[in-house]
């Protein structure tokens, strides 16, 4: 250990060492928390989509082109949220069962959902619920990529590989 602190520790800094005490095959709490956060984000995506479909333009008097553009953008965000919510729920469910490919799909869906909802908020076709969706999905992404989740998914994939080799 050096007397001068540095961000590069060489791996032997006891304060930064990752300690995992969960036995192999036990689903970590971070993965469960990520699933719950992703599920909550997906539910909010569906609810906000349904609201966007039912409300339409509420800005008062405006030129017809502005109203058409607003409603088109609103439908794009609403349909995107519905599709991405379905993908997030499916891939989050498969990720909790230790599927590596599903976690990759979940990451792509979360990225797309964050991007879509931020754009929807910026162009003002969605409300503050879009920011809550972004926060829920971002925290879900962090939770499912924790070291304990990585260890669990690696263990599950190894078990699947061993079973396929014996059959």
The position carrying tokens 């599950």 is: 156
Distance CA 24, CA 152 (A): 7
DSSP secondary structure letters along 40-105: HHHHHHHHHHHHHHHH---S-S--HHHHHHHHHHHHHHHHHHHHHHHHHHHHHHHHHTT-HHHHHH
Identify the CA nearest to 39 among candidates 80, 79, 81, 85.
Answer: 85
Q: What is this structure's pTM?
A: 0.84
The pLDDT value recorded for residue 18 is 63
Average pLDDT of 30-40? 96
d(CA 117, CA 46): 12
- Name the residue among 100, 98, 103 with its Cα closest to residue 140: 103
CA–CA gap between residue 134 and residue 110 (Å, rounded): 9
More confident residue, 138 or 14: 138
Spatial separation of the C-alpha atoms in residues 23 and 11, rounded to whole Å:
23
Confidence (pLDDT) at 62: 83
In this prediction, residue 13 carries a pLDDT of: 63
Percent of all residues in the chain with a pLDDT value above 90, rounded to a whole number? 63
Whole-number mean pLDDT of the chain?
A: 89
């Amino acid at each position: 250990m050096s007397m001068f602190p540095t961000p590069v520790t060489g791996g032997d800094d006891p304060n930064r060492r990752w300690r995992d005490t969960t036995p192999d095959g036990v689903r970590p709490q971070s993965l469960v928390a990520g699933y719950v956060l992703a599920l909550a984000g997906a539910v909010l995506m569906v609810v906000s989509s349904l609201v966007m479909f039912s409300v339409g333009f509420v800005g008062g008097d405006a030129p017809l082109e502005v109203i058409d553009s607003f409603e088109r953008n609103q439908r794009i965000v609403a349909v995107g949220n519905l599709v991405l919510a379905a993908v997030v729920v499916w891939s989050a469910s498969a990720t909790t069962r230790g599927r590596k490919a599903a976690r990759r799909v979940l990451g792509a869906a979360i990225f797309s959902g964050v991007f879509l909802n931020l754009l929807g908020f910026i162009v003002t076709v969605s409300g503050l619920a879009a920011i809550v969706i972004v926060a829920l999905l971002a925290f879900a992404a962090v939770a499912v990529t924790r070291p304990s989740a990585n260890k669990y998914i690696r263990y599950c994939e190894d078990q699947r590989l061993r079973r396929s080799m014996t059959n």
